[in-house]
Amino acid sequence: MSGFIERENPALFSEIVGSVAAASPEAVDKVVRWADAEQRIWATRPLPDRLVALTRASAAIENAIEDLAELLARESGKVLGDCRGEIGFAVRYLRWVVEHATMAYADREVDDELGRIVEQRRPFGVVAAITPWNAPIILSMLKIAPALAAGNAIVVKPSPLAPLTIDRIAGLFDAPIRVVHGGTETGAALVGHELVRKVAFTGGAAGGRAVAALAGDRLTPTVMELGGNDPAVFLDDAPFAGDAMDRLVMASFATSGQVCMAAKRLYVPLARLDEFVSAYRSAAGRVLKTGHPLSAGVTMGPVISAAAQRAARALIPPDAVLLGAFDADPSTGYFVHPALVVAPDPSSPVVVEEQFAPVVPVLGYESEEQVLTWANAGDLGLGASVWSADEERAFAFARRFEAGFTFVNTHNRTGMSLRAPFGGVKRSGWGREYAGEGLAEYVQTCVIHAPAAFRPGAVAPSGGPSAYPPG
């Protein structure tokens, strides 16, 4: 890809929001070599100095949040409030990293009767980040913040469907960070570069396979956050109260359902299916309004593209329950009326495939063993949720999910915590983001060891220099 990438407004596809220059493989090479040189200088700066630079960046982003949020809404189709929330959360995470980096990246030393061990936390060098369009700011910041704090340089390649806001945010850092734009050719040049020492990827299965294969060919370590087909299981004692249903509706339809950890399959006791559908429809009437992302009161905008619109419509049968208020013109933007599919065939695509669209199925189950089998079916295991009036019962059930992150009595954004590591099992990826585990992804542990037997003044053990150490 060469030339320029133009980004249309998915809510008004006649409007071009902006454009960015696409990077050729030669341009990527130049950026990575710059990052490699700058990283060597950045890594020599004391950690407190690096954290001061990140703190200044957080203030600059926060001061520009209104302009950035509007730009993000226009390029992505996300409603303005969600865009403010995403950028604000990214600032919060950046400050959390600053607060916790000193402990996470400090050397650790033991000096006792067994010897002396120093564990150093060293940066990798140049980190490549490949990020998607659905939450481009927070999903980039989850990589940018710990990578820079640890002393790495980072080169971000965002999706061509959301290149503008992250490009502007990267420019607010006084640190070794650059953004390159393009499609698969640009991504391959970045991931496969000889000076890239770590790859962090968030995206779908097809992109994940390509990135993992290319990184594996160079033996470059990766952290991969891939897709999910998250089940939400309501046990037989779960209340279908207003607040719970409001949370569940938005857990499925925030960002028009285009979220990896959205609630994508709803399971309720068969005897309570009609009750659930009624409560869900009422909640959708309270919290769902589809329309232009910059309009007041709108909670759901368009999907990202014409292809996404076609795919979503193909999943919605004629008898689906349409939800909430719909104040949008599908002839001017990629709007889809959100839908609940009641009691579909358990083997249908809307159930077994990740929809990534404003459509969600609800199925009735007869026993906990049956619903657990259904919930754990498939290759994906990113998130899940269990809903119950009894927290202990919910936790006991949750322990049996095949999921990297399980929510209790909520799902999606309302259940996230900066102190809780997030990531998938099975084919939903590996590695973790958030919490201490997320910080640890961006350093290597390097050890210096002086065994007690060979320290000055010690008596060497019998058995010669090849003897195994005692204990």
Compute φ and ψ for 6, nearest 5 degrees.
-95, 135
Q: Alpha-carbon distance 124 to 39, whole Å?
A: 10
Using DSSP, state whether 364 is helix, strand or coil.
Answer: strand
Among residues 8, 83, 86, 260, the one annotated as catalytic is 260
Compute φ and ψ for 353, nearest 5 degrees.
-110, 150
Q: Which two tokens stand for residue 457?
A: 């003044």
Using DSSP, state whether 467 is helix, strand or coil.
Answer: coil
| Residues whose CB falls within 8 Å of the CB of residue 112, separated by 6 or more in sequence, listed in order | none
Q: Alpha-carbon distance 360 to 14, whole Å?
A: 29
| Residues whose CB falls within 8 Å of the CB of residue 85, separated by 6 or more in sequence, listed in order | none
Among residues 8, 75, 86, 225, the one annotated as catalytic is 225
225 is catalytic: yes
| Helical pair 65-76 and 80-104, crossing angle rounded to 10 deg | 120
Using DSSP, state whether 157 is helix, strand or coil.
Answer: strand
Q: What is the CA radius of gyration of the chain?
A: 24
Strand order in the sheet with 126-130: 177-179, 153-157, 126-130, 196-202, 222-225, 429-430
Partners of residue 232 on adjacent β-strands: 266, 385
DSSP 205-264: HHHHHHHHHHHHHTT--EEEE-----EEEE-TT----HHHHHHHHHHHHGGGG--TTS--
| Residues whose CB falls within 8 Å of the CB of residue 334, separated by 6 or more in sequence, listed in order | 10, 11, 13, 77, 302, 303, 304, 305, 306, 308, 309
* Helix (H) / strand (E) containing 120: strand 115-123
Other residues' Cβ atoms within 10 Å of the Cβ of residue 111: 12
CA atoms within 13 A on the CB side of 92: 12
Catalytic residue list: 225, 260
